[in-house]
Structures are given as structure tokens and as C-alpha cells.
């Protein structure tokens, strides 16, 4: 399982200037949750390849598990052994988060199963899910004989579905469902009703105009993969033939998510102007997802897109982008990305026929209008449209934008960071991307470029054992910034010098070792020449050696470029001894961390004891004082606070208190207010 993003109150994006490189997309949410349900209803085992791992699929997996399906992860391939249409568990309380693709289809499937085999199931979600309509689906199920009880506001989750064994359903007459609020109600019936199509055709008719039609095509496509060939007459009559049974295809592959692709198509259109394109892998022009047609909309705005099976490649074409007016009913999710692209258009972009935006993760028309205005755009909204006029160059504002627990708000608004005014953007509650794209920001920073001088840096300098490593790591974690433990570079040089038997006093030889340092930081571990040296770096011996080699000017010079390269979006926290004075003299915040020698000796003593290493506190203190003296009296980059550094004596502060202090200073310096 991939790690879900850390919960942090905000993520600041520096002004971004360009983009190129490759993004590998996570799996499609719509395909993943349909495949999981179909595999869960079928007999036998289905091997699902490239399944999306996100909030929406986790709630579906939890539900299947609770219902008695067997799930086995085998090196990234999920083997789902289904129920074969027979309930194994007759009572369960299911929590479905904010996943429409879990709530609606499971409601239909469990209503039918409970009504025919007996059982009682409650389906609930997050508070917003309890504001998302489901009445049209309930209204379709009740006349069949399904018992659906409203546990809250009628027409909305939570619901209880129950029934007694041996019940039959009235499916001889066509089953009517409204299609103008969400296509997921029809999808839910199509996925569930093969359960009762044993001896007769089951017909579903759609009342009212069906919206979001391409999602119904995904449903039909995947039903066919599971052996069920639904006959469709226009968009108003669907027949599930008598004798339909879910048959596992054995293996099934989930395409990359076409809605997730839209952010990178937009990125290419806005920012890939330097030769190399933004390449998107995992979804291509052969996709079965309707949102692939976002590509046409992006092309109409000026994007240059090429593509093939499983890939897209995007360049900037027209600039500024061309404003468009578009009926977006066929691409309700990706259309939000057009609203963000509209920030860079040559006039007013008008997106119409998007009333369903109002009943999704949030009221997306209202939310998008409010947040685009916050960055400076002029926005008009109506019941079913939004019209966006970009900010004039000097009207762009550094804004803290709200995301309303809506993944797409966070991803769309990140595109505002390419503004010509070079103002940063603060994304509030950025972890909401976990609904469908947990790694979104990493993917974005993997391809987006910022000018180094626009990337914010916080430096934390101070004497040995002052706790700067811990403080810097915590601050970096809180802000989602990169971390440079510059001491580790010197320690690693020290280790490499010992390894190679180089004389630590031979400046030229040591500098050569430093210049060729093959060092990699990854997930809190550090590899030197392919070997994990995380613990070795912390040894007293490495520390003493670091202090010696770091006094050599040629060594400091050799490591300088390496250190500068850590300054990458979204930002950097750099800890060391000369970060604020020499390496990042333009850092926005410089902290000089101190603690009394007695305190530092005691901390180091405790640290060593906890590792089972005995030590003498007096000797430690003498060592520290000797090192302080050597570090502050050396001629190159002596240890001293930068003139503009803020001093923090943490002798009597807890780590949390120190972190809070630094984050407080930081927020005072940011342009977002509050």
C-alpha cells in the first residue's frame, strides 16, 4: 500500500515556471471501484493489476472484506475471491467515506442481496456524503421490493438495507430511474441487477436526461469484461439479458485515471514551453474513460497533445491559452481543470451544463468561484455554469485557497502557482487529494520547475547537539518541505575518507572524495555508495571526522553545489553550521539554535544510553566545548549566527515548543496573512 499523504494544515507552492518530464498515473477510481465490486460479486478469483490505492478504494476494499470476500495482495496484484452472488455475511455496518462509486453501487447490490437472501446492512459516510443525494436510486429500488430505510434525511445516506431470506423482487416490469442528478444511480442498478436476471431479462429505463454518460459506458464496458452484455437502446433503455452471470475474466488491468491525467495535460499546456514535454503514462488515447476527452478541450484552449495507447505527451501551444465556451456534461470531473486553465486564457472561459458540480464532494461551482476569485480572477456563476476571466497581471494575489475536502479543488488550484506575477499559492488541507491521487503533490513537484530564488529556504544553524537536526526535520515535515542535513554530507565524507584510507589532513585528497560523494537520501535513510549508512553517520567517530574534514576549504567548496541542489519546490529546511551565513544567505528565515553545553552534554548522554552505548557526561561536555571552539574559530565558514538570524535557546524548551516557535516565525514571514 502506498503511504497516504501527511495531514498538514497547508502546503505552500512557490511560484512555478516550467514543467517537463514523466508522470506515471495512479489507477482510475471509476474503474477500480467497479472492478472491485464486480470481482466481489463474481465466483472465483480475479487478479486485479494496477488498482488505485486511495481513500475511495480503501473504503470499497474494507466493505468487501466485511462482506466476506477474500483479498490477497501479491506483490502489487490484488487477488479478490468473490461471493459468487451468495451473501456470506448477513449483517454489516459499512463506512464508505465520500466515495460515490462505493456508496451508490453498494446500496443497489446490498439492497438486492438483502431483499432476496436476508440481511441488514447500514451504509454511512463522511458528513458531506450525507448531503449527497441518493433518493433517485432509493426510489428505483423500493418499488422492486427492496427495503431501504432512511437513517437521516430522506433521500440521503445513511441508509439501512434489509430483508428476509427467500424474498423475491418485482423485476418483470422495466425499472425506472432518474438520470439527471447523477449517472451513478443507473450505474449502480446496472452493476447490481444481474444478480436477479437469472430467468428473465431485466430492463432499466431512464427518466429525464441522462448526465455524465461516458461513466455509464465505463460500467457497460466492465460488465462485458465480467461476462454481462447489456443491450442499450439510446441512453434511455438498458436490458440485462436473462441468464446473465458475473464471470471473472481471471486477470484485469486498471488503466491510469483520466481525470487525474487532466492536471498534467493542463500543466503541459501551461508550462511545457522549454522543449521537453510533459509525458503522461498509464492512460492514453485508447482509454475507456470518458475524461480522456478532456484532451480535446485542452487542445481547443491551445495545448499541443500527442498520444497513443497508454500515453500522452503535452506541450504548450497557444499562449496565452484561448478562452473557450464548452458544454462539459460529458467530462464533469475533468471540466474543473478547465476552470483552472482559464486563469491563463485570453478572455472569458465559460463552462456550461455542469449542474452536477453542486452535489459532488462540495458545491464545486460555488467553491471554484470563491477560490478563483481569491487568486484574483473575475468569476460569474449560475445554477449550471461558471465563467472565468483571468486576473490581470498585477491583480494576482498570493492567496491561501480553501479546498473544501475536495481533491479536485486542491489539484486544480495548484495550477495557479504558474501565475505570471510569481506569487506563491497556499493550498489549505492538501491531504484531501488522497481521495483519488495520494501522491499528487510529489508527482507535481517531480515535473514542475521553480526558479531557485523563488524556492523558500529556512536555515537552522547551531552548535553540535543543540537539537537542530530534530528541529529541522520536524519543521520540514510540518511544511512538506525537503530537508538538507548538511552535517550528513560532512559525516558521509568522513566515512568515505576512513573507508578509502585517505589521510584526513590531505585537503586535496579529501576534497576529491567529497566531490565524488555517491550519497542518496530516501525515506529518512541515507545510502553512501549503495550502503545504508544511516546509523554509521550518527557515530561519534563519524562526528569527529566530520568536524575535521569540514574545516578544509576545498571540501566545503566541493560540497557547496551539492547543497544548493537541495533547493527544490516546494521548499527547503537546511540544517548545519553555515547554512544561513554561507550556503543560503538569501534564506527567508534563519534560525540560530543554541542550548547550554551542560544541556547538550546531557541530551547526547541520554541518546547514547538509549542506544546501549555507555558514556561519561563530563567527557562528552569537554568534547562538545572543544568542538564548539574549533567550529567557531576556524577561518572558513566559522560557526556563528547570521546577522539576520533569529536566536532560539532551547535549553528549557521541548521539541514541540521549539517547532511551534519556528513555525510561528515562518508564518509571520509568509504573504498569506493569519
Ligand X SMILES: O=C(O)C1=C[C@@H](OP(=O)(O)O)[C@@H](O)[C@H](O)C1
Ligand Y SMILES: C=C(OP(=O)(O)O)C(=O)O
120 annotated among ligand-binding-site residues: no
Q: Which of residues 413-452 bind ligand Y (CB under 6 A)?
A: 436
Which residue in 17, 20, 46, 101 binds ligand Y (CB under 6 A)?
A: 101
In the complex, the smallest distance separating the C-beta of residue 153 from ligand Y, rounded to whole angstroms, is 18
Q: Is the peptide bond before 168 cis (omega within 30 degrees of 0)?
A: no
Which residue in 57, 81, 107, 184 binds ligand X (CB under 6 A)?
A: 184
- Distance CA(317)–CA(295), nearest Å, equals 13
Residues sharing a CB contact under 8 Å with residue 83, sequence separation 6 or more, in sequence order: 40, 41, 43, 67, 68, 69
User: Is residue 74 within 8 Å of 49, Cβ to Cβ?
Assistant: no
Q: What 3-state class would DSSP assign to 204?
A: strand
Which residue in 27, 125, 332, 580 binds ligand X (CB under 6 A)?
A: 332
561 annotated among ligand-binding-site residues: no
In the complex, the smallest distance separating the C-beta of residue 286 from ligand X, rounded to whole angstroms, is 19
* 187 forms part of the interface with ligand X (CB under 6 A): yes
CB under 6 A: which stretch of 98-106, 288-296, 574-582, 633-641 binds ligand Y? 98-106
184 annotated among ligand-binding-site residues: yes
- Distance CA(568)–CA(446), nearest Å, equals 10
Beta strand pairing status for 385-389 and 378-382?
antiparallel
In the complex, the smallest distance separating the C-beta of residue 203 from ligand X, rounded to whole angstroms, is 21
183 annotated among ligand-binding-site residues: yes
Residues sharing a CB contact under 8 Å with residue 56, sequence separation 6 or more, in sequence order: 29, 32, 33, 97, 98, 99, 101, 102, 435, 436
What are 448's strand-pairing partners?
19
| Residue among 409, 481, 450 nearest 271 (CA) | 450
CB under 6 A: which stretch of 7-15, 99-107, 192-200, 501-509 binds ligand Y? 99-107
Residues near ligand Y (CB under 6 A), total? 9
* 255 forms part of the interface with ligand X (CB under 6 A): no
Of the CA atoms within 13 Å of residue 240, those in its CB half-sphere come to 33
| Residue among 266, 345, 340, 351 nearest 303 (CA) | 266
| Residue among 544, 553, 538 nearest 624 (CA) | 544
470 annotated among ligand-binding-site residues: yes
Residue 187 binds: one of ligand X, ligand Y, none (C-beta under 5 to 8 A by kind) = ligand X
- Distance CA(114)–CA(95), nearest Å, equals 18
* 215 forms part of the interface with ligand X (CB under 6 A): yes
- Distance CA(56)–CA(20), nearest Å, equals 29
364 annotated among ligand-binding-site residues: yes
- Distance CA(47)–CA(252), nearest Å, equals 6
Q: Based on CB atoms, which residue is closest to ligand Y, 248 or 329? A: 329
User: In Å, how far from its chain's centre is CA 429?
Assistant: 11
Q: Based on CB atoms, which residue is closest to ligand Y, 100 or 462? A: 100
In the complex, the smallest distance separating the C-beta of residue 448 from ligand Y, rounded to whole angstroms, is 23
In the complex, the smallest distance separating the C-beta of residue 643 from ligand X, rounded to whole angstroms, is 54
Residue 99 binds: one of ligand Y, ligand X, none (C-beta under 5 to 8 A by kind) = ligand Y
Binding mask 587-626 for ligand X (x = CB under 6 A): ----------------------------------------
In the complex, the smallest distance separating the C-beta of residue 637 from ligand Y, rounded to whole angstroms, is 51
Q: What 3-state class would DSSP assign to 34?
A: helix
User: Is residue 197 within 8 Å of 269, Cβ to Cβ?
Assistant: no
Show contacts of 536-543: CB within 8 Å, 24+ apart: 536/495, 537/488, 537/491, 537/492, 537/495, 541/498, 542/491, 542/494, 542/495, 543/464, 543/491
* 287 forms part of the interface with ligand X (CB under 6 A): no
Q: Based on CB atoms, which residue is closest to ligand X, 288 or 425? A: 288
Neighbours of 127 (CB within 10 A): 8
DSSP 543-606: HHHHHHHTT-HHHHHHHHHHHHTT--TT-EEEEESSIIIII-TT-SEEEEEE--HHHHHHHHHH
Of the CA atoms within 13 Å of residue 62, those in its CB half-sphere come to 18
In the complex, the smallest distance separating the C-beta of residue 257 from ligand X, rounded to whole angstroms, is 10
Residue 449 binds: one of ligand X, ligand Y, none (C-beta under 5 to 8 A by kind) = none
CB under 6 A: which stretch of 95-103, 157-165, 225-233, 653-661 binds ligand Y? 95-103
In the complex, the smallest distance separating the C-beta of residue 348 from ligand X, rounded to whole angstroms, is 25
Binding mask 606-645 for ligand Y (x = CB under 6 A): ----------------------------------------
Buried-exposed string 363-373: b where 16+ CB fall within 10 A, e elsewhere: bbbebbbbbbb
* 57 forms part of the interface with ligand X (CB under 6 A): no
**Residues annotated as part of the active site:** 333
* 556 forms part of the interface with ligand Y (CB under 6 A): no
Q: Which residues make up the interface to ligand Y (CB under 6 A)? A: 98-101, 333, 360-361, 408, 436
Q: Which residues make up the interface to ligand X (CB under 6 A)? A: 30, 100-101, 182-184, 187, 211-212, 215, 332-333, 356
> Annotated binding residues for 3-phosphoshikimate, as ranges?
29-30, 34, 182-184, 212, 333, 360
> Annotated binding residues, as ranges?
29-30, 34, 100, 132, 182-184, 212, 333, 360, 364, 408, 435, 462-470
> Annotated binding residues for phosphoenolpyruvate, as ranges?
29, 100, 132, 184, 364, 408, 435
Amino acid at each position: 500500500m502506498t503511504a497516504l499523504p501527511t495531514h498538514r494544515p497547508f502546503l505552500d507552492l512557490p511560484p512555478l515556471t516550467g514543467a517537463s518530464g514523466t508522470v506515471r498515473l495512479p489507477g482510475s477510481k471509476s474503474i477500480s471501484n467497479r472492478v472491485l465490486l464486480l470481482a466481489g460479486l463474481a465466483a472465483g478469483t480475479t487478479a486485479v493489476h494496477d488498482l488505485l490505492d486511495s481513500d475511495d478504494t480503501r473504503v470499497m476494499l474494507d466493505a468487501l472484506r466485511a462482506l466476506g470476500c477474500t483479498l490477497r495482495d501479491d506483490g502489487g496484484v490484488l487477488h479478490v475471491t468473490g461471493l459468487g452472488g451468495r451473501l456470506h455475511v448477513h449483517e454489516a455496518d459499512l463506512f464508505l467515506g465520500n466515495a460515490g462509486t462505493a456508496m451508490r453501487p453498494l446500496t443497489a447490490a446490498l439492497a438486492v442481496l438483502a431483499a432476496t437472501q436476508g440481511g441488514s446492512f447500514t451504509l454511512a459516510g463522511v458528513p458531506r456524503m450525507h448531503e449527497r443525494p441518493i433518493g433517485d436510486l432509493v426510489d428505483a429500488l423500493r418499488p422492486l421490493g427492496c427495503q431501504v430505510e432512511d437513517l437521516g434525511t430522506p433521500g440521503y445516506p445513511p441508509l439501512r438495507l434489509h430483508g428476509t431470506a427467500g424474498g423475491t423482487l418485482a423485476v418483470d416490469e422495466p425499472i425506472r430511474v432518474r438520470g439527471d442528478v447523477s449517472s451513478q444511480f443507473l450505474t449502480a442498478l446496472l452493476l447490481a441487477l444481474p444478480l436477479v436476471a437469472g430467468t428473465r431479462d431485466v430492463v432499466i429505463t431512464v427518466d429525464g436526461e441522462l448526465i455524465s454518460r461516458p461513466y455509464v459506458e465505463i460500467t457497460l464496458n466492465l460488465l462485458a469484461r465480467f461476462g454481462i452484455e447489456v443491450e442499450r437502446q439510446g441512453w434511455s433503455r438498458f436490458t440485462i439479458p436473462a441468464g446473465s452471470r458475473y464471470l471473472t475474466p481471471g486477470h484485469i488491468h486498471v488503466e491510469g485515471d483520466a481525470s487525474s491525467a487532466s492536471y498534467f495535460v493542463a500543466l503541459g499546456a501551461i508550462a511545457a514551453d522549454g522543449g521537453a514535454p510533459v509525458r503522461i503514462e498509464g492512460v492514453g488515447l485508447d482509454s475507456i474513460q470518458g475524461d480522456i476527452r478532456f484532451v480535446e478541450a485542452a487542445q481547443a484552449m491551445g495545448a499541443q497533445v500527442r498520444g497513443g495507447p497508454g500515453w500522452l505527451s503535452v506541450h504548450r501551444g497557444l499562449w496565452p491559452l484561448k478562452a473557450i465556451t464548452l458544454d462539459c456534461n460529458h467530462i464533469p470531473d475533468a471540466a474543473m481543470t478547465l476552470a483552472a486553465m482559464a486563469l491563463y486564457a485570453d478572455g472569458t472561459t465559460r463552462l456550461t451544463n455542469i449542474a452536477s458540480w453542486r452535489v459532488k464532494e462540495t458545491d464545486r461551482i460555488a467553491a471554484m468561484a470563491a477560490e478563483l476569485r481569491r487568486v484574483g480572477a473575475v468569476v460569474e456563476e449560475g445554477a449550471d455554469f461558471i465563467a472565468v476571466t483571468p486576473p490581470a497581471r498585477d491583480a494576482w494575489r498570493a492567496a491561501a485557497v480553501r479546498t473544501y475536502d475536495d481533491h479536485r479543488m486542491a489539484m486544480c488550484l495548484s495550477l495557479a502557482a504558474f501565475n505570471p506575477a510569481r506569487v506563491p499559492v497556499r493550498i489549505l488541507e492538501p491531504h484531501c487529494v488522497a481521495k483519488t491521487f495520494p501522491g499528487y503533490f510529489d508527482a507535481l513537484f517531480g515535473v514542475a520547475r521553480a526558479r531557485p530564488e523563488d524556492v523558500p529556504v529556512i536555515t537552522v544553524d547551531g552548535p553540535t547537539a543543540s537539537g537542530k537536526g530534530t528541529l529541522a526535520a520536524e519543521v520540514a515535515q510540518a511544511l512538506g518541505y525537503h530537508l538538507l542535513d548538511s552535517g550528513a554530507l560532512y559525516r558521509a565524507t568522513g566515512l568515505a575518507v576512513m573507508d578509502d584510507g585517505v589521510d584526513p589532513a590531505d585537503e586535496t585528497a579529501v576534497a576529491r572524495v567529497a566531490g565524488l560523494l555517491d550519497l542518496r537520501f530516501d525515506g529518512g535513510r541515507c545510502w553512501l555508495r549503495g550502503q545504508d549508512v544511516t546509523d554509521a553517520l550518527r557515530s561519534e567517530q563519524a562526528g569527529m571526522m566530520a568536524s575535521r574534514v569540514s574545516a578544509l576549504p576545498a571540501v566545503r567548496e566541493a560540497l557547496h553545489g551539492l547543497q544548493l541542489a537541495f533547493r527544490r519546490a516546494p521548499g527547503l529546511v537546511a540544517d548545519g553550521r553555515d547554512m544561513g551565513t554561507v550556503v543560503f544567505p538569501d534564506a527567508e528565515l534563519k534560525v540560530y539554535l543554541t542550548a547550554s553545553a551542560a544541556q547538550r552534554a546531557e541530551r547526547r548522554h541520554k541518546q547514547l544510553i538509549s542506544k546501549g552505548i555507555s558514556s561519561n557526561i563530563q567527557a562528552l561536555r569537554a568534547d562538545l566545548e572543544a568542538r564548539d571552539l574549533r567550529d567557531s574559530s576556524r577561518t572558513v565558514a566559522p560557526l556563528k549566527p547570521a546577522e539576520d538570524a533569529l536566536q532560539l535557546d532551547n535549553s528549557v524548551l521541548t521539541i514541540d515548543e521549539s517547532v511551534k516557535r519556528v513555525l510561528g516565525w515562518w508564518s509571520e514571514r509568509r504573504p498569506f496573512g493569519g
